[in-house]
Structure 1
Amino acid sequence: MYLRRGVIKPVKIIFTLLILCLLNGYAVAEKSVHASKELTLATTRWCPYTCFDERKEFGIVGIYIEKILSSHNIHLSVVSYPWSRALRLVQSKEVDGLLTATPAEAPDLLFSDSPIGSYQMCFYTVNSSSLRFDKSIDFGNNLLAVVQDYGYGEPLDSYIKKNKFITSISGSNVTDRLISLLIKGRVDVIVTDKLVVDYKIANHSIDANTIKRAGCLLENDFYLALRSTRENENLLEKINQELIQPENINYFKQLKVDISKE
Structure 2
Amino acid sequence: MKTTVVFAFFLLIASTSLSAKIPSEITLATTNWPPYTSGSSPDKPGIVYEYITEILAKNGITLRIERYPWSRAIKMANDDNDIHGLLTAVYEEAPKLLFTRTPVMNYKVNFYTAIDNHWLYQDQRSLNSMPSPLCIILGYGYGSPIDEFIHDEANKTRLHILTGGNAQQRLVKMLEYKRVAVIIEDELVIESYTKKSTNIRFAGTLSDSPFYLAFNPNLNWSRDIVELLNQELAEPENLQRLQQLVSDYTSKQQ
Mapped pair 1:83 → 2:70: yes
Q: 2: distance between equivalents of 1:141 and 1:260?
A: 31
Deviation at 1:36, TM superposition (A): 6.8
User: Tell me, what secondary structure is at the counterpart of 2:91?
Assistant: coil
Deviation at 1:137, TM superposition (A): 2.3
AA aligned to 2:203 is A
Could you tell me the TM-score, scaled by structure 2's length?
Answer: 0.84
Q: 1: distance between equivalents of 2:179 and 2:228?
A: 47
Residues 65-214 of structure 1 aligned to structure 2 (within 5 Å): 65-94=52-81, 95-135=83-123, 136-162=126-152, 163-164=155-156, 165-202=158-195, 207-214=196-203
Deviation at 1:193, TM superposition (A): 1.0
Which 4+ residue blocks in structure 1 deviate beyond 4 angstroms?
none
Q: 1: distance between equivalents of 2:108 and 2:216?
A: 26
Residues 227-246 of structure 1 aligned to structure 2 (within 5 Å): 227-228=216-217, 229-246=219-236
Q: 2: distance between equivalents of 1:143 and 1:239?
A: 39
Which consecutive residues of structure 2, in runs of 5 or more, have no partner in the other structure? 1-19
Q: 2: distance between equivalents of 1:212 and 1:176?
A: 16
Q: 1: distance between equivalents of 2:78 and 2:129?
A: 34
Deviation at 1:254, TM superposition (A): 1.4
AA aligned to 1:151 is G
Mapped pair 1:216 → 2:205: yes
Which consecutive residues of structure 1, in runs of 5 or more, have no partner in the other structure? 1-32
Calculate percent identity across the aligned residue pairs. Answer: 38
Q: Tell whether the 8 Å contact from 1:36 to 1:73 is kept in structure 2 after alignment.
A: no
RMSD between aligned alpha carbons? 1.8
Q: Which residue of 1 aligns with 2:7?
A: none
User: Tell me, what secondary structure is at the counterpart of 1:254?
Assistant: helix
Deviation at 1:160, TM superposition (A): 0.3
The count of corresponding residues between Structure 1 and Structure 2 is 225
Deviation at 1:230, TM superposition (A): 2.9
Q: 1: distance between equivalents of 2:166 and 2:78?
A: 23
